[in-house]
Each structure stands twice: as structure tokens, then as C-alpha cells.
Amino acid sequence: MKQALVFLSEGCEETEAVTTIDLLTRAGIEVITASISNCCEVKCSRGVTILAQKTISEIQHENFDVVILPGGVKGAENFRDCSLLIEILQKTHQVGGVIAAICASPAIVLQHHNLFPNAYMTGYPSTKDSFKLWKTDRVYFDEQNKVITSQGPATSIDFALKIIDVLVGRKKAAEVAQQLVLPVGVESYQ
């Protein structure tokens, strides 16, 4: 079974976190949530509180198929400033895992630390100038660097479906998409 790690921090975007957790779970991917603080209770950007399953120190030596960073400016800044999280991202990439970041996290975390200098990425549109190699896509998967990025809360479903597609295949992504009764305009997996 594939394993996904979703990091949570104070101020992260709850729509991006919960949508991704839900869709990956529907796809049969084991999802672990981890707070970057010593407390599992995380107050998100709009005041919703999410209870993480573990803390970062409890999972620091585990390997995951994908490590996911929701956005939200304050949440992304907290991710950026967490040296252990940056080490986990680097280790995951080195062992062939996928890194996925949405909204403010591609710019504030991945670009700030220059983790993927040759990767094409997207992110929240106002962060465009932070990128050397920018894509206008709602979701973009740089296959060579194994990095999935996405633009924001409204692209959360597309983001999660792309993670499913990359980890377990297009057929499973289509199955999950069908369960959601996707509107016209959302990337088709059928």
C-alpha cells in the first residue's frame, strides 16, 4: 500500500489539507498527518482545528511515497522555517519519493530553499515572480524531478487526483473522480 505524509502547521490552508487527505484515502492510499510542532492540535488559516495523527519527531525516520505540503501563507512560512521538515523533503526526494505542494508552499518553501532548481512548478498566481521555471497550469507534475505543484484551494481536487494518478495510476484517479461527480472544467480522468 502506498503511503502519503501530509504535514500540518499553524495557519495552513484547511481546504487543501482536508481535500487531499480525503481523496487519497478514497484511493486506498494510507495517509499519515503530522504536525510540525510538538502538539497534534493544529489551528488552520480560517480557524478550523485539525488533529494531526503524529508529530514530526515521531515520523522523521520513516519513508513515504509522497510528502505533501498544503498552502496558506502562515502555514507555508512555518514549513519554510522548520529545518527538520526541509531535511525530510530532501530525504524523500533522494530516495525517489514525490514531493507535492500547493498554493503558497511551492514558492515559500520549495523555491525559498531552492530544493528543485530545474523543476517547472506552479503555485498561487501572485507568487509567480518567485519561480525561475513557472507553469500556468492548475496542477503541474514535473516528472523528471517528481514534484507536483498546484495553485490554490479551488485546485485541491485536481491536486489530489494528480497525486493519486502518479502514485497508483490514472484508472484509480478516474474511479475517485467519478465518485465526486466532478463539474465540467476539472481535469478529466475518464
Residues with catalytic annotation? 103
Quick check: 122 and 151 in contact, CB under 8 A?
yes
CA atoms of 109 and 171, how far apart (whole Å): 31
Quick check: 29 and 164 in contact, CB under 8 A?
yes
Quick check: 79 and 89 in contact, CB under 8 A?
no
CA atoms of 168 and 182, how far apart (whole Å): 20
List all residues 6 or more positions away from 54 whose beta carbon is below 8 Å from its beta carbon. 32, 33, 34, 35, 40
From the number of C-beta atoms within 10 Å of its C-beta (0-12, 13-18, 19+), residue 63 rates as middle
Closest C-alpha to 27, from 48, 8, 3, 10: 3
- Displacement of CA 102 from its chain's centroid (Å): 6
